C-alpha cells in the first residue's frame, strides 16, 4: 500500500496452488518491520470487498481469516523459501519462536474467545519473548542481544546527516 503497487489477489493465487508468504523489509516500503502487522494488513486487504471488482479483485470477508493470515506469515513464508524445516512447530524442526502476552488491555475480551484472532486483529503487540535458533533474543519485552539506546541514537544521527 505504501508503494501503491496494487493488491495481490491472494485467494486466487492460493486457489491456483501458488505459494504465498508474507515478509517485512526496511522502512522504504514497510513502516514497522512487524510481521503481525503484515498478517493483519493481508487479512484486511483480502476482506476489502466488492469495491475492487473493476481491478479484477473479487474479494469478500470469507476470503481470509486470522488463521489464514497467520499461516501466510509462517508456513506460507517457509513454502515460498522452499523450506520444509521451518514455518511450524513439530519434532525435529527449527524452532524460532515469538511469544506474545495477550493478557493486556489491547487484547481484553478478544483473547478470551479467539487468541489467534486477537493477535492478528487487536493491538499491534511487541513480542514478550523471542527465541531464535535456541537463543533467547527478547526476554520480557527487552532485547537481550545488544544495547538498543546507543543503536537508536546512532541511527537518528546518521538519518539526520543523510537528510541534510
Tell me the per-residue pLDDT of 59-105, one tens digit each, with 9 for 90 and over: 556 678 999 999 999 999 999 999 988 888 888 887 789 999 988 88
Q: pLDDT for 104-148, tens place per residue? A: 888 888 777 889 999 999 888 889 999 998 899 999 999 999 998
- Assess contact for 107 and 117: CB atoms under 8 A: no
Task: Quote the CA–CA distance of 42 and 20 in Å, as a whole number.
Answer: 11
Q: pLDDT for 140-153, tens place per residue? A: 999 999 998 999 99
pTM higher than 0.85: no
Domains of the chain are 1-89 (no CATH), 96-164 (2.30.40.10)
Task: Quote the CA–CA distance of 64 and 55 in Å, as a whole number.
Answer: 19
Amino acid at each position: 500500500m505504501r508503494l501503491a503497487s496494487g493488491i495481490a489477489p491472494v485467494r486466487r493465487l492460493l486457489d491456483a496452488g501458488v505459494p504465498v508468504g508474507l515478509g517485512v523489509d526496511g522502512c522504504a516500503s514497510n513502516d514497522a518491520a512487524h510481521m503481525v502487522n503484515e498478517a493483519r494488513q493481508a487479512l484486511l486487504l483480502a476482506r476489502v470487498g466488492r469495491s475492487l471488482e473493476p481491478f479484477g479483485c473479487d474479494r469478500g470477508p470469507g476470503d481470509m481469516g486470522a488463521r489464514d493470515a497467520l499461516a501466510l506469515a509462517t508456513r506460507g513464508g517457509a513454502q515460498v523459501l522452499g523450506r520444509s524445516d521451518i514455518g511450524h512447530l513439530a519434532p525435529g524442526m527449527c524452532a524460532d519462536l515469538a511469544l506474545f502476552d495477550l493478557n493486556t488491555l489491547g487484547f481484553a475480551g478478544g483473547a478470551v474467545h479467539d487468541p489467534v484472532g486477537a493477535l492478528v486483529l487487536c493491538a499491534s503487540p511487541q513480542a514478550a519473548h523471542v527465541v531464535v535458533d535456541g537463543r533467547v533474543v527478547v526476554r520480557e519485552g527487552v532485547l537481550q542481544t545488544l544495547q538498543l539506546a546507543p543503536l537508536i541514537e546512532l541511527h537518528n544521527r546518521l538519518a539526520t546527516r543523510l537528510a541534510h
